[in-house]
């Protein structure tokens, strides 16, 4: 296989070592990926079986959940088995891996904004707080432009990722905590201990695990794909850090402003149902604002640190849970995540029982 070159700046004899929280990234990927997969299967399965939810909202929710789980698996494969197996030094791994990482990451946040916008339209449809056609068109036009532009930037970054640089974990390295010799001894003992002549399929399963562990532990040199074009990186960062941040801020404002108006009417003991139950308005608004704010924080931290992406993995799982909580089949998730805040009065003190309002 053809190997790629290392990244050398002018005047450098050796490539600069890339410091990374590799141990934290590995732990986050190992924990988040299976949880995200289960969440996607559960959410999509229940939504497809539901007869009450249909149209664009249903499609956007399914696309969002699938895009998140694809991003989590792409991140997991890149940061765990592929990197520790030494694949980044071989052509054309970096081209494909970098394109998939940036494409899936950007797609996840764009689909999140589309979903929360459609959820906003659904919740306040037919009420006096319904979104005007002009604001609706502007938001959809901006999201359409972003959705059209970002794949080209992701492809540009992937196509220009033409070299690698050495990687050093600055926190801890789980897979290389022991020597290769001791690890192989432990793997061999693990395999023979689990051999069962009566269950050959189990033997095959453990044999595959042994092979994977040997491959991962046999390469002590870690490499990171690098060399992408600065203009493409700047453009994609601007889309994620500025445009997405701006759209998220607008959506958060639209939710909060409408929720405050509902709150004011509730204080005056007026009818706030207006075609929608108070509980539905409060629930959707609180979930959407929490999700949007968590995304803004995750993007901000990632943009500041520039090297740590596990915040996006955690945010993806949290947003998947919050999106699930927006529907009736996610009641248990909603109670687990949000009811503590509502009982404590942290969300604008909007518990409906305070005003004697009936919820359905």
Could you tell me the fold of the domain covering 24-176+221-353? Rhopdopsin 7-helix transmembrane proteins (1.20.1070)
pLDDT at 353: 42
| Best mean pLDDT range from 128-137, 186-195, 225-234, 236-245 | 128-137
**Domain edges within the chain:** 24-176+221-353, 180-219
Tell me, what's the pLDDT at 141?
Answer: 92
Residue 64: per-residue pLDDT: 92
Crossing angle of helices 180-193 and 200-217, rounded to 10°? 180
Dump pLDDT digits (tens) for 303-321: 777 656 888 899 999 999 9
Fill in the DSSP letter of residue 5: E
pLDDT over threshold 70, residue 150:
yes
Whether the pTM exceeds 0.85: the reply is: no
Among 65-79, 114-128, 194-208, where is mean pLDDT lowest? Answer: 194-208
Identify the band that residue 66 occupies on the pLDDT scale cut at 50, 70 and 90: very high
Q: Inform me whether the pLDDT recorded for 63 exceeds 80.
A: yes
Is 270's pLDDT higher than 70? Answer: no
Say what percent of the chain tops pLDDT 70: 68
User: pLDDT at position 343, please?
Assistant: 45
In whole numbers, what is the pLDDT of the chain averaged over residues? 75
Residue 72: pLDDT over 90: yes
Q: Which of 272, 313, 278, 308 is nearest to 295 (CA)?
A: 313
Question: Which range has the top average pLDDT, 74-83, 202-211, 231-240?
Answer: 74-83
The pLDDT tens digits of the residues spanning 99-109 come to: 998 898 888 98
Predicted confidence band of residue 68 (pLDDT cuts 50, 70, 90):
very high
Cα separations (Å) of 162 from 2, 165, 291? 12, 11, 36
pLDDT at 177 over 70: no
Region of residue 161 (left: phi > 0; alpha: psi -120 to 50; beta: else): beta
Which residue shows structure tokens 């204080």? 267
What is the Cα–Cα distance from 162 to 97, expressed in whole angstroms? 12
Is 244:298 a contact under the CB 8 Å cutoff?
A: no
Share of the chain above pLDDT 90, in %: 12
* Confidence label for 346 from pLDDT (cuts 50, 70 and 90): very low
When pLDDT is cut at 50, 70 and 90, the band that residue 190 belongs to is: low
The residue ranges of DSSP E strands in 7-103, in sequence order, are: 18-20
- Report the pLDDT averaged over residues 345-359: 39
């Amino acid at each position: 296989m053809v190997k790629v070159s290392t990244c050398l700046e002018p005047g450098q004899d050796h490539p600069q070592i890339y410091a990374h929280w590799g141990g934290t990234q590995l732990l986050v990927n190992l924990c988040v990926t299976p949880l995200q997969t289960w969440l996607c299967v559960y959410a999509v399965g229940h939504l497809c079986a539901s007869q009450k939810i249909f149209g664009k909202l249903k499609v956007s929710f399914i696309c969002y959940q699938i895009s998140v789980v694809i991003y989590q698996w792409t991140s997991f494969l890149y940061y765990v088995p592929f990197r520790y197996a030494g694949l980044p030094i071989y052509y054309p791994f970096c081209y494909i891996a970098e394109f998939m990482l940036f494409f899936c990451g950007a797609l996840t946040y764009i689909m999140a904004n589309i979903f929360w916008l459609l959820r906003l339209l659904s919740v306040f449809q037919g009420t006096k707080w319904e979104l005007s056609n002009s604001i609706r068109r502007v938001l959809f036009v901006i999201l359409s432009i972003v959705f059209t532009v970002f794949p080209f930037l992701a492809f540009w970054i992937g196509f220009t990722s033409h070299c690698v640089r050495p990687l050093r974990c600055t926190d801890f390295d789980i897979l290389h905590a022991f020597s290769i010799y001791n690890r192989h001894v432990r793997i061999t003992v693990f395999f023979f201990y689990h051999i069962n002549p009566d269950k050959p399929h189990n033997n095959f399963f453990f044999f595959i695990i042994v092979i994977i562990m040997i491959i991962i532990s046999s390469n002590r040199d870690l490499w990171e794909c690098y060399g992408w074009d600065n203009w493409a990186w700047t453009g994609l960062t601007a889309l994620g850090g500025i445009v997405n941040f701006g759209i998220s801020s607008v959506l958060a404002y639209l939710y909060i402003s409408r929720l405050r108006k509902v709150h004011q009417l509730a204080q005056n003991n007026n009818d706030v149902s207006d075609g929608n139950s108070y509980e539905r308005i409060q629930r959707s608004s609180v979930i959407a604002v929490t999700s949007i704010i968590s995304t803004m924080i995750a993007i901000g931290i990632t943009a500041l640190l520039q090297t740590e992406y596990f915040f996006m993995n955690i945010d993806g799982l949290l947003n998947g849970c919050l999106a699930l909580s927006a529907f009736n089949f996610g009641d248990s998730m909603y109670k687990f995540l949000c009811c503590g805040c509502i009982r404590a009065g942290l969300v604008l003190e909007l518990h409906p029982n305070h005003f004697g309002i009936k919820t359905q």
